[in-house]
């Protein structure tokens, strides 16, 4: 539909500003591995770990790290902990959205020292990756029945 010859017009230039957010990581708050004295190793899945990169950069990349404490012996046992050298982490299959990268199994050597496990290089916009890691613990012959506890920490570096 054409405007009449004497009609006035006014244009508005509109700028749309998109702000990026951050790289976030989530992991289960707890997991339980169950084994029997005299059986080694003991393995189990920790539950889904997810990294979401909402920075909105043209060529994003990030690294997911994992660290652990020793498995502390049951309270009152007087036994030493199961050391991190006996703990192994395998990310398994990584489900990726808008990225490529690597997934590497980890044999820990130092307590609380982050080790690279999953990497990603993505396309523009949002990207993510999820995995359900398996933790394997080599049980020492001197282990006793009871609850051993450790903390596994997942972190990211954009």
Instruction: Give the max Cα distance, the chain.
Output: 96
Q: Which of 69, 28, 68 is nearest to 49 (CA)?
A: 28
- Of 92, 51, 77, the closest CA to residue 147 belongs to 77
Distance CA 136, CA 36 (A): 14
For 39-98, how does the pLDDT look when each residue is reduced to its tens digit (9 = 90+)? 999 999 999 999 999 999 999 999 999 999 999 999 889 999 999 999 999 999 999 999
Per residue in 128-139, pLDDT (tens digit) is: 999 999 999 999
Tokens linked to 6: 């004497």
């Amino acid at each position: 539909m054409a405007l009449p010859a004497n009609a006035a017009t006014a244009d508005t230039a509109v700028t749309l500003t998109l702000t990026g957010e951050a790289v976030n990581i989530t992991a289960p708050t707890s997991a339980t591995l169950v084994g029997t004295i005299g059986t080694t190793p003991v393995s189990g899945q920790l539950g889904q770990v997810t990294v979401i990169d909402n920075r909105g950069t043209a060529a994003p990349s990030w690294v997911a790290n994992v660290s652990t404490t020793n498995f502390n012996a049951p309270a009152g046992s007087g036994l030493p902990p199961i050391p991190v050298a006996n703990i192994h982490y395998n990310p398994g299959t990584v489900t990726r959205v808008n990225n490529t990268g690597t997934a590497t199994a980890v044999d820990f050597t130092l307590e609380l020292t982050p080790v690279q496990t999953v990497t990603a290089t993505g396309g523009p916009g949002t990207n993510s990756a999820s995995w359900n890691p398996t933790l394997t613990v080599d049980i020492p012959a001197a282990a006793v029945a009871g609850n051993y506890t450790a903390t596994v920490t997942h972190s990211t570096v954009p």
